[in-house]
Structure 1
Amino acid sequence: MKTLLALCSVLLLTGRCSAQTPQKCQTPRLLSGSMSLSTQDGQVWAVAKYIYDALGQRIRLWETGHVQNKSLYVDLLFLFKKGVVYTIDDRNQTCQKNPLSDQFHPFHIPHNASLQSQVILGGSSSRKEGLLVNTWKGDVPEIGGAGGTS
Structure 2
Amino acid sequence: MFSAALLCVFICWTATGHADHHQHCRSPNMTGYFSMMGQRAETRASGQFTYDSTNKKLRLQPNSSFPWNATLDLDLLVFFEEGILYKIDSKNQSCEKKSLQCTKNPFALPSDATYMTTMTSGSVSIEGEGLKFQVWTTPTADSKGQNIMCLTMGCLPLSTIYVSESSTSIFSNMNIELEIKDPDVFVVPSFCQGLPAEEAPEGTVYGFYDEFL
CA separation of 1:111/1:84 partners in 2, compared to 1, >3 Å: closer, same or farther?
Answer: closer
Equivalent residue, structure 1, for 2:119? 118
Contact 1:87 1:97 in 2 (8 A): yes
Give ranges in structure 1 of 5+ residues lacking alignment: 1-18, 67-71
- TM-score w.r.t. structure 2 length? 0.42
Distance (whole Å) between structure 1 residues aligned to residue 148 and residue 39 of structure 2:
20
Equivalent residue, structure 2, for 1:69? none
Identity %: 16
CA separation of 1:81/1:24 partners in 2, compared to 1, >3 Å: closer, same or farther?
Answer: closer
CA separation of 1:74/1:121 partners in 2, compared to 1, >3 Å: closer, same or farther?
Answer: farther
Equivalent residue, structure 1, for 2:95? 96
RMSD between superposed Cα atoms in Å: 3.7
- TM-score w.r.t. structure 1 length? 0.55
Deviation by residue 1:47-101 (Cα, 9 ceiling, x = unmatched): 33432223122111235722xxxxx2110101345554332224x2524152434
Report the structure number with the largest CA radius of gyration: 1
Q: SS in structure 1 opposite 2:54? A: coil
Equivalent residue, structure 2, for 1:132? 132
AA partner of residue 108 (structure 1): L
Q: SS in structure 2 opposite 1:74? A: coil
**Aligned counterpart in structure 2 of residue 47 of structure 1, from 39, 45, 48:** 45
Which structure shows the bigger proportion of residues in strand conformation? 1
CA separation of 1:133/1:87 partners in 2, compared to 1, >3 Å: closer, same or farther?
Answer: same
- Is 1:65 the counterpart of 2:66 in the alignment? no
Aligned residues: 120
CA separation of 1:23/1:62 partners in 2, compared to 1, >3 Å: closer, same or farther?
Answer: same
Give ranges in structure 2 of 5+ residues lacking alignment: 1-17, 63-68, 151-213
